Structure 1
Amino acid sequence: MINELKKALLIGVGAVAATYEKANELISEMVQKGKLTVEEGKELTEELKRDFKEKTSSTTNKVKSKFDDLKPITKDDLKAFVQESDIPSRLELEALRRKIEELEEKLNRKEES
C-alpha cells in the first residue's frame, strides 16, 4: 500500500509539473506574439509558480496524512485477525495431530487382533 501511495504522489506531482511547464511555454509564446506584455507574462508566471507550490504542498500533505494514518500491525492485531479468520492455533493443530496418532494406533491394534 505504501508503494501505491508513493506512486500516486509521484503521478500527481508529475502531472502538476507537466502542466506547469506547458503553461509556462504558453505564457512565453503569448509574450513573444505580443498578446501579453512582458510584465503580464512575469505576473502570470509568478502566479503559476505560487499555484504550483500550493498544489504540490497540498498533495504532499494529503499523502503524508495517509501515511500517518497507517499503523504497524501489532501482535494483538494479528491474534485478533487469526481468531476472526477461524485459523487454528499451533496448539490446536498439535492436539489434532496427537488425536489422529492415537486413533491410528487404536485402529492398527484392532487390525492386528
Structure 2
Amino acid sequence: MEDLKKIMLVLLGSAAVSAEKLDKSLSDLVEKGKLTVKEGKELREELIKKDMSVEKDDPKEALTKDEFRSILDSLNLVEKKDLKSLEDRIENLENKLNED
C-alpha cells in the first residue's frame, strides 16, 4: 500500500486525473483485492487533500487506463485470487503432512 501511495502521489503530481477516473481506478483496485475498501478511501482522501492536480473531466490531461495499468503492473502486487490459491495449496500440503 505504501509503495502504491508513493507512486500515485508522484504520478498525480505530473499528470492531472479526473476525479471520476481516480474513483474508477481505486474501485478497480479494491475489486481485484489490491486494496481494501478502507485503504481505497484513505488513498483517495489523501490524494485530494494534498491537491495533487485532481481535476474534473479534462480528457486531454487525464491518465489513461493503459498508463495506470502499466504503473500497477510495475509494482508486482499480488492479486487476491493468487494469494488465495497459494493459501489453499499450503493448507492442502499441511493436511497431507498431518495425515502421515
In the superposition, the TM-score normalised over structure 2's length comes to 0.34
More helix by share: 1
Structure index of larger Rg: 1
| Higher RCO structure (Cα 8 Å, ≥6 apart) | 2
